Structure 1
Amino acid sequence: MSKLRIASILFLFSTVILKFSSMFRDLIIANYFGDSYAVDAYIAAMTIPNAIILFMLTGMKDAFVPSYYKYKELGLGEQHKSHIVKGTFWVCFILSVIGIIISSPLVHFLYPNFPTKGLEVATWTAIIYFSSIVMVGVNAVYEGYFDAEKMFSFSVFSQTLVVLVTIVSAILFHQNLGIYSVPIGYFMGTVLSLILKFLVLQPRKKFILWKQKLDINEVKMFYLIFIPVGLTIAVGQINLFVNTLFAAQLGEGVVANLNYAFRLVSIPQAIFGVTIATIIYPMLAEAKSKNNIPLFKKGIEKGLVYMFLFVAPTVAGMMVLIKPIVRVVYERGAFDTDATLMTSELSIFYIGSVLFYSIQAVVAKGFYTLEKGHYMFRIGMTSIVLNVIFNAIFAHLLGAKGLALSASLVGLCYSVITFSTLYKLVKGFNKRYLVFEYGKILISTLLMASIVFYISKLVFIQSLNIYVMLLLVICMGALVYFASLYLFKTSSFKELLNSNKIKIRKMN
């Protein structure tokens, strides 16, 4: 089995653990605090610095991988990494200080309707998250380095460590610290994650070239590429922030339930969409470094097909079974039946965003590999404008459900524009391959969803324990889906069954 195949499997496994640990963190929050004003305040405040955190964490990796490959070809990979680590430390230090200073006035300006206690929670939450940005930025560079070296699983594990420390902090200190136990745990997690990287890399003298003088010009050149990439990555978080601003005006619990719904339905995107996009990224970067555009195009095509192969049935199954899924995942402790009903309804409207942003995650790697991140930046800014307009319209018509619907519509526009733009840039993809594969997968998904819906309504099935019912229905749905893929002779599915590795080969 190839090293890439092993790395891909480990990465997928690590990503599943990361996503479910993130879900478990949300379960802990829901159990201890429900959809109270404290959760509303925490989420509302966290989205402000989190836009910067995602800007650094994900954007840095997307910009660093091709940059590192370019310098590595010249034998200067380690030197380049050290320059970016040092430059990022100072950039993030400045951002942290500014964020801490403006936290209080910013929270009071954005959320004037929050009660006094809610404003206090929001202010301290923002301060703690802004304080963590220094560690987040430096961690992001090293995680980009691990991705470039195809050490995907370790990169994900270091992120998982942050989530696990957050969970432990919430469990141990929620009675004494309340909701503050969550951001404090996150801060400590970022510190421990950086220490872990030091322990792994320093013995091999690959942590940092301590005595190397900072090359400011090299850092500037990198950030000219990174900033539009990072801002583009942060677009999703900015749109969530816009949603939060609207949601905060709709009453207690709306912010919390929107967040619970979004976190739940985004699992397929995080596990399959982001994972496949990350796995193909080094392939695309190597193709670009060798100026092999046909190989680059086939990499994008494969990424889009394999993403849809896994995301489509998962999304369809969630739509059919959303209420029992929400009950199993969230309904305990302070999270009651009313919260389950509201979260289930919101989840349905969010579902579209999962598929569309998964497509966009793959397509975006193409832009970044070609160093055309400015296209993504322009499209991202357009999506923010659309999000504000759609929020204003649909929040007025549908309330909280309108905000979730707005996210799906923005995702649709975003994916259509990004794909069509990349299509023009590379002068087309293999349309026949994409249409036939997507068609077979879509038909198989519809058959699966129909069977799952029918089975789930049977009296015998509904009389079962909810956990047994879900397990049985999901297994039967998976059986129908994979059998349909096989009968329709779906080439991507056959390749998974028959090949030792996912090959990028000539497609007729």
Structure 2
Amino acid sequence: MVIAYYFGDTYQADAYLAAFIIPNMLFLFLTTGMKNAFIPSYLAAKETGTSTILFNQIWKVTGTISLGLGIIGMFTAPLIIPNIYPDFQPAAMTIAVQVTMIFMGCVSFVGLNAVFEAYFDAESQYTVSAISQLFVLLTMISSAMLFANQIGPYALAFGYLAGVIISLLFKLIIMHKQHILQWTAKIQRQEVKAFFIVFFPVAITVMVGQVNLAVDNIFASYFEEGVVTYVNYAKNLVHFPQAIFAVTIGTITFPLIAKSYAKGNIKQLKGRLEQGLMVMCYVLLPAITGMMLLMPTIIQLLFERGAFTRAATLATTQVAYYYLGSVIFFSLTVIINNGIYTLKKGHVVMWIGLGSILFNLLCNSIFTKWLGYVGIPFASSIVGFVYAISCYVFLIRQVGFLFKLKEIIEIVKIILSLIVMIIAIRFIANIQAYMTNGMFLMITIFLGVLIYVLCSYILKIKSFYFLWNTLRKKDNKQMLEEQP
């Protein structure tokens, strides 16, 4: 929203969004990759009483590696960016190169933040990570409001740098109070080596999504000015439910899956995987369905102001529709891949992910010639489907078939609830002309959620009761651990 307001669909927005791609590969490599590798290893070490030692080994080595990556990235950005986006005009190229260098300067702070957030998540202290991420968001918004008119997109990059530093200081204060940090402990090479053998395949897998986004941006840069912006805004908006619901559900269930495996209870592990997938479907499907029905109004409300025109709204809406398939498939793989990582088979996901990059290149080459720039999101949805199926097939070969008759019945109930919700939303749409977009969305979302929940109650959907009990239970962690 901030980028759209200040820079619309101009070359400045294109350059900033393109510049963020490569640094964000490293950010995801360090953050999500660290969580997926660290949490199972930390919980396993906790069973033997060596978790504190492991944690202190990892944050020191990760800090050193991320510092090196940041320095290399800053010096190589002027060489890499012009080769990735050769069609950028000179002004856009200058912004893209310099913003990339600023973001590369953030890598060392992001690396340490990643280890500390993984530790807090492993200890079920989820609010620490949430608050620290809020610091980054607030500093970026504040910096844009104060300096965007003077220094353009650089304001957002400097705001991000300030945010990750503040976030790191916030975590250090908490960890100092918990007496968890051991500054002088020596590095045990064998222990660190064993961890990073698990970490690197997982982290590379996490980068795959960002590499595929880079592929999308490269193909988008071949079209007219603004297409890079449409692709990025549409993808970020459509994948918002994944960022909120899929990541949250995955974060909560991952430690439980890992604990089941650490105890050797495969039956319980399968139960947690099935439960995670069903909850994901229950929450995600209505969110995506509602977004699909309300997409033009949502984009108009969020972005159509300042430099962002009506034509840009229509173009972004068109792209967003084609991204809907990708959010479904990639959200489900959050749970599927958590199971694979728990089995310490992350290298398999890595190879599937690397294969998806080649497949994405092929799909983009075909569909952009056929459909124009909307072929970019359509290719992402096709790639997401193939990626999800591949990961699921591998997982069930390891633990056995997951979805049985009772899960199929639950999905049918969810679909019936969705149908009723869709009918209600279509009926409410008749009064849209008599109110503002904001008011219409609030009323529609409220009534849509209410109707979906009532249908869930009437049809006795188990995921609904699970979430209801989670909200009512005072000790949510204990309640979750009691689930099969």
Please say whether Structure 1 and Structure 2 have the same fold, judged by a TM-score greater than 0.5: yes
Q: Does 1:494 align with 2:468?
A: no
Q: How does 1:31-50 map to 2 (within 5 A)?
A: 31-50=5-24
Q: Does 1:177 align with 2:148?
A: no
Aligned to 2:362: 389
Aligned to 2:432: 461
Aligned to 2:321: 348
Aligned to 2:80: 106
Please give the alpha-carbon distance, in whole angstroms, between the structure 2 residues aligned to 1:242 and 1:116.
21
Q: CA deviation at 1:473?
A: 2.0
Aligned to 2:373: 400
Aligned to 1:6: none
Q: CA deviation at 1:109?
A: 1.0
Aligned to 1:436: 409
Could you tell me whether the CA contact under 8 Å between 1:307 and 1:359 is conserved in 2? yes
Q: Does 1:80 align with 2:54?
A: yes
Q: 1:371 aligns with which of 340, 344, 354?
A: 344
Could you tell me whether the CA contact under 8 Å between 2:202 and 2:350 is conserved in 1? yes
Aligned to 2:301: 328
Please give the alpha-carbon distance, in whole angstroms, between the structure 1 residues aligned to 2:179 and 2:68.
28
Q: How does 1:26-425 map to 2 (within 5 A)?
A: 27-206=1-180, 208-425=181-398
Could you tell me whether the CA contact under 8 Å between 2:128 and 2:171 is conserved in 1? no
Cα distance change on mapping 1:505 and 1:470 into 2, 3 Å: same
Secondary structure of 1:395's partner? helix
Question: Letter of the aligned partner of 2:350 in structure 1?
Answer: F
Q: Does 1:477 align with 2:448?
A: yes
Q: Deviations over 1:90-132 (max 9, x none)?
A: 1112111211111001111111111111111011111111111
Could you tell me whether the CA contact under 8 Å between 1:298 and 1:505 is conserved in 2? no
Q: CA deviation at 1:438?
A: 1.4
Q: CA deviation at 1:430?
A: 4.4
Q: CA deviation at 1:506?
A: 8.4
Could you tell me whether the CA contact under 8 Å between 1:96 and 1:131 is conserved in 2? yes
Aligned to 1:445: 418
- Count residues with an aligned counterpart: 478
Question: Letter of the aligned partner of 2:11 in structure 1?
Answer: Y
Q: CA deviation at 1:496?
A: 3.4
Please give the alpha-carbon distance, in whole angstroms, between the structure 1 residues aligned to 2:483 and 2:52.
35
Q: Deviations over 1:47-70 (max 9, x none)?
A: 012111101011011100111112
The RMSD of aligned alpha carbons is 1.6
Please give the alpha-carbon distance, in whole angstroms, between the structure 2 residues aligned to 1:130 and 1:465.
42
Could you tell me whether the CA contact under 8 Å between 1:87 and 1:216 is conserved in 2? no
Please give the alpha-carbon distance, in whole angstroms, between the structure 2 residues aligned to 1:253 and 1:325.
19
Question: Letter of the aligned partner of 2:173 in structure 1?
Answer: L
Unpaired stretches in structure 2, ≥5 consecutive residues = none
Q: Deviations over 1:177-220 (max 9, x none)?
A: 111011111111111111111111113321x2111111222222
**What is the aligned-residue identity percentage?**
37
Q: CA deviation at 1:435?
A: 1.1
Please give the alpha-carbon distance, in whole angstroms, between the structure 1 residues aligned to 2:202 and 2:155.
32
Aligned to 2:399: 426
Cα distance change on mapping 1:494 and 1:193 into 2, 3 Å: closer
Question: Letter of the aligned partner of 1:443 in structure 2?
Answer: L
Q: CA deviation at 1:86?
A: 0.9
Unpaired stretches in structure 1, ≥5 consecutive residues = 1-26
Please give the alpha-carbon distance, in whole angstroms, between the structure 1 residues aligned to 2:224 and 2:403.
49
Question: Letter of the aligned partner of 1:79 in structure 2?
Answer: I
Question: Letter of the aligned partner of 1:224 in structure 2?
Answer: I
Secondary structure of 1:399's partner? helix
Please give the alpha-carbon distance, in whole angstroms, between the structure 2 residues aligned to 1:224 and 1:147.
21
Secondary structure of 2:152's partner? helix
Secondary structure of 1:428's partner? coil
Give the TM-score, by structure 1 length. Answer: 0.91
Question: Letter of the aligned partner of 2:126 in structure 1?
Answer: F
Secondary structure of 1:291's partner? coil
Q: CA deviation at 1:243?
A: 0.3
Could you tell me whether the CA contact under 8 Å between 1:273 and 1:361 is conserved in 2? yes
